[in-house]
Every structure is written in structure tokens, then in C-alpha cells.
């Protein structure tokens, strides 16, 4: 595996089975080629698997297709896209057997998430109202002042009749979309199968914090636009679906406000109220659901380092459909009438691909091979490792061994720490631009992805173990994982590196300061260095309080400071590369600047800070992703395999990654 291999990996990102089960639409992420294409995020193409079993490209090339859905008749397919000539994202429809897509709906601020009415004649969609003309005119004259968190425009639910039969020879008027007068800002909408009601997820404001912690599902009467019910869930809410008879709503949510992640399976009547949990004490987290019939659901559960599909009745009985195994499922779609399931799944040998199965057979069949060149790439072995923390808690993680290991030899280790912390590592494909996996293994590193306490996938209780203990036992688990790998004889204790993004970046900063004696190099990405200023600059202060710290800074200033890497900067002896998107609103870029300035001023250890203009909480564009990979790999090779000492030059040599024509032009 090479850096260029990592940069060109394609992946299936979603699937949608037609109502009659005859076709499967899916989206494919195709990275842009650095230096050869205009920089930007990966293209999103639309492909369709036909009744003959052949997959055909429908909308491909320099395109960004999203939110693919079949119309109720199964003869047409809809998606959102911004094409040449579109001022904003519009809704398009294409025939099931292909042809040219037709734009059927536009809106002045763009078409957001949407849902078709059961007859396919109307669509409910999300969009902000247009800015008042007076405000637009004032801005054009230089009046650009922004009133922070007060000048938001709430997202509304709009009803429209899409224009399926536009004809330039007629003057048939097109009815304008009409907004529903609902409280708050909308985040998702689902139309009931009987066409009478909408289920709408509403939060008090458009703010991210309210979206995470105060979103509630409301039942809205379509004709009267009145709210007839509200589902009383505390905390976070995930996907929700109407039952086929429109009598129930099933959802992924929480049963108390301190649940770190939505992951419980709930059901409630159409009138709303307090939902009932179907699978109590599930040893994992549910992530997706679809109704099979009026009495049962198909549910995706992430459990441990793998996943499973369960059929669960509304009385709580569950039957496995796809048991935990070699494949990790990321998502699925269902044609309930035909019992056909399309799934996006990955394994240690390949990134996410399209699979399918029948509920009658439950034997998955792989459909796509998006990276055929991977068959020629030597991949290192990958395995699940279980060990115990110092307090006896059993932990697990994913280990990629060095490619072509030699018996008796100890290797440098990269500890890759996931963010969240309400997330987890699964035993699937582990190599991306920021998580070097097979790339590092090919260069002689062992790579370990730990599921420290507070991770998801092992039930709600386990996911709460890190609460009210920033950087405490949760990060001691990281050291214990390293110690275990050293004891096995695989890892050289003196050559251990640590990296991660977001909360994983916080872990990296902590390991490079408070726990510096254990780590010989670190790469911190969009991470936290000061828990006090983090609270004052983030867009999720209530989420931080409710599911992480469980107290506010003013309740215990010393505790927040003591759990901040800057407080331990004097202990830092770990060479640290810090990388951050300049437009990050989740973890403000000042978090990286603070730690850099402390370590740089102390002058005890090499430190470098790299900004990525135009990037937020994670890099999206091809150039900045490749740059990140190259810098991270070089830093670890320098300090864990190479000369150490003075950092490598700050400039990168991009010439090996330029196409011949671009290289000649650069010279």
C-alpha cells in the first residue's frame, strides 16, 4: 500500500432497493486525483444494479449525487444534486432503466432532506426560508455584521408538487412550495404510509448543540398542519420510520439524557408519548432500522468489533438474520414486500462495497468490486486483540501486524485513537488518509486501534465509563493496550507513536504531555488542548456537559484545567506534529495553537503546527488529505524509524504524486 493507493480508494456509500426489489441504486465515492483535477471532496456517483444482475452507471463523472430514493411506484429514482445552471441544490428524477435525469424541484435556498408522499405526487422537504430582500441589499452595500447565534434562519418543512411534466410549449403554472408553520428547526421528515401525517424531527434552534441534545420527533397532520403528537425522548435521536400500517413509529434513540450515543431501539404509537424500548440491555448500539411488516423490524446493530442484522418484533423478540462475522455492515436498505436487502459492508480486505441478501436465505452476496487493483496489493494480517486494563476491565481493539514480519523482531507501533469518544473501532477496512493502517504496515509498523472505555458497541453502560473523568481511566487504557502489545513481544516499547482526530486528538495531546514517557512521537489532528477554552469556543457546550464532563467549568475550574494537556506541557518530551482545519467549529483551531505555543515556547521538544485553510473538523479535499497522509507518515518514520532529533523539513516534495503532464508543467 502506498500513499497514492490510499488517495485513490473508492467506496460504496449508500444503497436503496426499489419497492419491487428488482433494482438496487447505490452511490460510489470517487476521489479526485491531486494535480490532475480541480481540488475538492470526492465525487459521488449514482449506479444502479438491474434485474439482470448487471450494474450500470447512471450519473457519473464530476458529479455529487446525494439522498437517493425510489419513488413509491418503483419506476423512478430521485436524488439531490447541484448541476450547471442550478443556483442551489435541486431535486432530480431519473427513470428506473436510465436516461437523462429531469430536474423536478428547485428552491431559492436549496432542497434539503426530503420524503415522498405515498402516491408520489407530493414531496416534503427541508430548506431555510429565503433571506429578506432588505438584508440582502444591505449586505451588498457593505453592511455584513453578523449577530452570533441570533441571526439564524430555522430550517422549515415545505410541501410541494414536483414538476414531472414540464413543457416549454405550455405556460402551466408551477405551484410554489409552501412551508409548514412548525416550532423550531427541522432536521428530518418522514411521510406516513397512509399519507395523513408527517413525522418531523425538530430542535429549538438550528444550532448543532440543539440538534444533538434537544431534537424531538413531532407528528404533524398534513392537511391541517397541526402538531398532533410528540415523542418524548431525552437526549439524542437517530433514524425513525413509520410502520406500514401508519400506527407506530420506530426510532433509534436514548432512554436518558446522559446516554452518550443514540443506540437504543424504541417504538411508540402514532399519537406520540413515551416510547417503549424493545431490546433492553442490548450489548451494543443500534444504528439503523426498517420495518419488515406491521409487527417486526430489521435492525442493524454494532456489537463489539463487528455487526449484526436482527429481526425484532414489536413485542421485543429478536432473531438473527446476519450474525456477527467477518463482514462489518455500515448500512442497509430493504424492499420489505420482496424480502430483498441491500447492504454496504466492509472487511479487513476491502473498503465498503455493495452486498445483497434475501430474508429467506440470509446468505450475503458481494455485488461490487470498486477497487480491483487491491487484488494486486499485499495486505498485512489484521486481527482482534483482547486484553485487560489495570483495573481488570476487559478491552479490545484491532491490530494490523507489520507486512512480512520477522520472528523475534520488535516493531514500532502506531496507536490510532478514535474520536467521539462515543464511537468504536470495528474489524473492517482500517486505512484512510488520517488512519494509516495498511500503509503504515507496509512501511514496517504495527498499528493498533483501541476501543477504550467510553467507546460504543458494548452497550450503554460501557459507553458511560468515561463520563466525568476526562483523560482519566479512558486514556490509561491506551497505555495498558501498549503494555499488552509489548508483553506479546511484537512492539518495541521505545518506539511507540500515537495519533487521532477530535477526541482522539485530545488523547494524542494528553499522551504527548501528561503521559509523555510512554510515547516517542505524536500526530494530533483537530484535537483539544484546553478544556476550559474548549467549552467557550465549541458549538456543542451542552453535549459536552451532559454526556462527557457532567459538570460545567465554573463548577470546578481546577478539575478542567488539570484535565487539559496545556497544564502538563512541561512534561512533554514527545515530538508532536499538530494539524488542524482553519474553519473548524467543533474544536476551534485555537486549541491547536495553544498547545503549539506552549510547547514551542518551552523549547523542550520538537513541535510543528500545520493549518488547512478551507477545512473544518476533518479534511474533505483531495489535496489536503494527501498532504495530511504524507506529513503524518514522514513524521512517524522520522521519529520511530529514522534519525529523530530535528524535525524533517517543513516543505513536502509532491513530485512523485503529480501526473507526468502536471509534473512537466510544474518544472
Cα torsion 403, 407, 408, 409: sign: negative
pLDDT mean over 115-140: 95
pLDDT mean over 308-333: 95
* Contact in structure between 265 and 312 (CB atoms under 8 Å): yes
pLDDT mean over 100-106: 95
Confidence of residue 170 (pLDDT cuts 50, 70, 90): low
Show the cell assigned to 67.
Answer: 439522498
- Beta partners for 290? 298
* Predicted local confidence at residue 360, as pLDDT: 86
Confidence of residue 663 (pLDDT cuts 50, 70, 90): low
* Predicted local confidence at residue 660, as pLDDT: 79
Q: Long-range contact list for 218-224, CB < 8 A, 24+ apart? A: 218/182, 218/183, 218/272, 219/249, 219/270, 219/271, 219/272, 220/157, 220/180, 220/182, 221/196, 221/197, 222/159, 222/195, 222/196, 222/197, 222/198, 223/196
* Predicted local confidence at residue 537, as pLDDT: 95
Please check the confidence at residue 448 and state whether its pLDDT lies above 90: yes
Please report, rounded to a whole number, the percentage of residues in the chain having pLDDT higher than 90: 94
pLDDT mean over 467-472: 98
Confidence of residue 169 (pLDDT cuts 50, 70, 90): low
- Beta partners for 357? 341
Mean pLDDT of the chain: 96
Please check the confidence at residue 171 and state whether its pLDDT lies above 70: no
pLDDT mean over 217-246: 97
Q: Are β-strands 576-581 and 521-525 bridged in parallel, bridged antiparallel, or unpaired?
A: parallel
Distance, CA of 256 to CA of 461 (rounded, Å): 12
Indicate the range of 128-142, 487-501, 611-625 predicted with least confidence.
128-142
Instruction: Give 511-568 pLDDT, tens digit per residue.
Output: 999 999 999 999 999 999 999 999 999 999 999 999 999 999 999 999 999 999 999 9
Confidence of residue 102 (pLDDT cuts 50, 70, 90): very high
pLDDT mean over 157-169: 82
* Predicted local confidence at residue 361, as pLDDT: 80
* Predicted local confidence at residue 168, as pLDDT: 54
* Predicted local confidence at residue 440, as pLDDT: 98
Whole-number CA gyration radius for the chain: 25
* Predicted local confidence at residue 665, as pLDDT: 62
Distance, CA of 76 to CA of 79 (rounded, Å): 10
* Predicted local confidence at residue 244, as pLDDT: 97
Indicate the range of 172-186, 265-279, 389-403 predicted with least confidence.
172-186
Distance, CA of 506 to CA of 475 (rounded, Å): 10
Instruction: Give 580-600 pLDDT, tens digit per residue.
Output: 999 999 999 999 999 999 999
pLDDT mean over 191-203: 98
Please report, rounded to a whole number, the percentage of residues in the chain having pLDDT higher than 70: 97
Instruction: Give 394-431 pLDDT, tens digit per residue.
Output: 999 999 999 999 999 999 999 999 999 999 999 999 99
Please check the confidence at residue 500 and state whether its pLDDT lies above 70: yes
Confidence of residue 363 (pLDDT cuts 50, 70, 90): confident
* Predicted local confidence at residue 21, as pLDDT: 95
Indicate the range of 75-79, 298-302, 336-340 predicted with least confidence.
336-340
| Domains in the chain, CATH or no CATH each | 381-655 (3.40.50.1820)
Instruction: Give 49-95 pLDDT, tens digit per residue.
Output: 999 999 999 999 999 999 999 999 999 999 999 999 999 999 999 99
pLDDT mean over 19-45: 96
Amino acid at each position: 500500500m502506498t500513499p497514492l493507493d490510499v488517495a485513490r480508494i473508492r467506496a460504496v456509500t449508500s444503497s436503496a432497493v426499489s419497492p419491487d426489489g428488482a433494482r438496487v441504486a447505490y452511490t460510489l465515492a470517487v476521489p479526485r486525483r491531486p494535480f490532475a483535477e480541480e481540488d475538492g471532496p470526492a465525487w459521488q456517483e449514482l449506479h444502479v444494479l438491474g434485474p439482470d444482475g448487471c450494474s450500470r452507471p447512471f450519473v457519473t463523472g464530476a458529479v455529487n449525487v446525494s439522498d437517493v430514493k425510489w419513488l413509491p411506484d418503483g419506476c423512478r429514482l430521485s436524488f439531490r444534486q447541484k448541476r450547471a445552471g442550478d443556483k442551489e441544490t435541486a431535486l432530480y428524477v431519473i427513470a428506473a432503466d436510465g436516461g437523462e435525469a429531469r430536474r423536478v424541484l428547485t428552491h431559492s435556498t436549496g432542497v434539503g432532506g426530503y420524503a415522498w408522499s405515498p402516491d408520489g405526487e407530493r414531496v416534503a422537504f427541508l430548506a431555510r426560508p429565503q433571506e429578506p430582500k432588505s438584508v440582502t441589499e444591505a449586505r451588498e452595500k457593505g453592511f455584513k455584521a453578523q449577530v452570533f447565534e441570533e441571526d439564524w434562519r430555522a430550517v422549515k418543512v415545505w410541501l410541494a408538487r414536483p414538476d414531472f411534466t414540464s413543457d416549454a410549449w405550455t405556460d402551466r403554472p408551477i405551484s410554489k412550495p409552501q412551508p409548514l408553520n412548525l416550532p423550531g428547526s427541522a432536521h428530518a421528515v418522514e411521510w406516513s404510509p397512509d399519507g395523513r401525517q408527517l413525522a418531523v424531527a425538530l430542535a429549538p434552534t438550528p444550532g448543532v448543540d440543539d440538534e444533538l441534545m434537544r431534537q424531538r420527533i413531532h407528528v404533524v397532520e398534513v392537511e391541517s398542519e397541526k402538531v398532533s403528537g410528540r415523542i418524548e425522548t431525552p437526549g439524542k435521536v437517530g433514524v425513525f420510520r413509520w410502520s406500514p400500517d401508519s400506527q407506530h413509529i420506530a426510532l433509534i434513540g436514548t432512554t436518558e439524557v446522559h446516554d452518550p450515543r443514540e443506540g437504543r431501539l424504541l417504538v411508540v404509537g402514532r399519537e406520540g408519548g413515551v416510547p417503549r424500548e424493545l431490546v433492553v440491555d442490548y450489548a451494543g448500539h443500534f444504528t439503523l432500522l426498517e420495518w419488515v411488516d406491521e409487527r417486526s423490524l430489521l435492525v442493524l446493530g454494532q456489537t463489539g468489533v463487528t455487526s449484526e442484522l436482527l429481526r425484532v418484533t414489536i413485542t421485543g423478540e429478536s432473531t438473527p438474520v446476519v450474525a456477527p462475522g467477518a463482514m462489518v455492515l455500515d448500512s442497509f436498505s430493504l424492499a420489505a414486500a420482496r424480502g430483498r436487502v441491500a447492504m454496504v459492508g466492509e472487511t479487513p480486505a476491502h473498503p465498503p462495497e455493495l452486498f445483497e441478501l434475501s430474508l429467506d436465505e440470509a446468505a450475503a452476496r458481494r455485488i461490487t468490486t470498486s477497487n480491483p487493483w487491491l487484488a494486486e496489493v499485499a495486505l498485512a494480517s489484521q486481527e482482534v486483540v483482547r486484553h485487560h486494563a489495570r483495573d481488570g476491565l476487559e478491552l479490545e481493539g484491532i491490530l494490523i501486524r507489520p507486512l512480512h514480519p520477522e520472528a523475534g523482531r520488535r516493531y514500532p507501533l502506531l496507536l490510532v485513537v478514535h474520536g467521539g469518544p462515543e464511537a468504536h473501532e470495528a474489524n473492517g477496512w482500517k486505512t484512510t488518509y488520517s488512519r494509516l493502517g495498511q500503509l503504515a504496515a507496509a512501511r514496517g509498523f504495527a498499528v493498533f486501534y483501541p476501543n477504550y472505555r467510553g467507546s460504543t458497541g458494548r452497550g450503554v453502560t460501557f459507553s458511560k465509563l468515561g463520563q466525568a473523568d476526562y483523560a482519566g481511566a479512558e486514556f490509561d487504557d491506551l497505555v495498558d493496550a501498549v503494555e499488552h502489545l509489548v508483553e506479546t513481544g511484537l512492539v518495541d516499547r521505545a518506539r511507540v507513536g500515537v495519533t487521532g482526530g477530535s477526541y482522539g486528538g485530545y488523547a494524542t495531546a494528553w499522551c504527548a504531555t501528561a503521559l509523555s514517557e510512554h510515547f516517542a512521537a505524536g500526530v494530533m489532528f483537530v484535537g483539544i488542548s484546553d478544556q476550559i477554552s474548549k467549552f467557550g469556543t465549541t458549538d456543542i457546550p451542552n453535549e459536552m456537559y451532559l454526556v462527557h464532563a457532567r459538570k460545567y467549568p465554573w463548577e470546578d475550574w481546577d478539575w478542567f484545567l488539570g484535565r487539559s494537556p496545556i497544564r502538563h506541557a512541561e512534561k512533554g518530551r514527545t515530538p508532536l506534529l499538530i494539524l488542524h482545519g482553519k474553519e473548524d467549529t467543533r474544536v476551534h483551531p485555537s486549541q491547536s495553537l495553544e498547545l503549539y505555543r506552549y510547547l514551542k515556547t518551552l523549547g523542550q521538544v520538537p513541535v510543528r503546527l500545520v493549518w488547512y485553510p478551507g477545512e473544518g473538523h476533518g479534511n474533505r479535499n483531495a489535496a489536503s488529505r494527501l498532504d495530511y497522509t504524507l506529513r503524518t507518515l514522514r513524521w512517524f518514520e522520522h521519529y520511530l524509524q529514522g534519525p529523530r532529533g530535528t524535525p524533517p523539513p517543513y516543505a513536502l516534495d509532491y513530485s512523485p504524486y503529480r501526473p507526468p503532464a502536471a509534473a512537466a508543467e510544474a518544472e
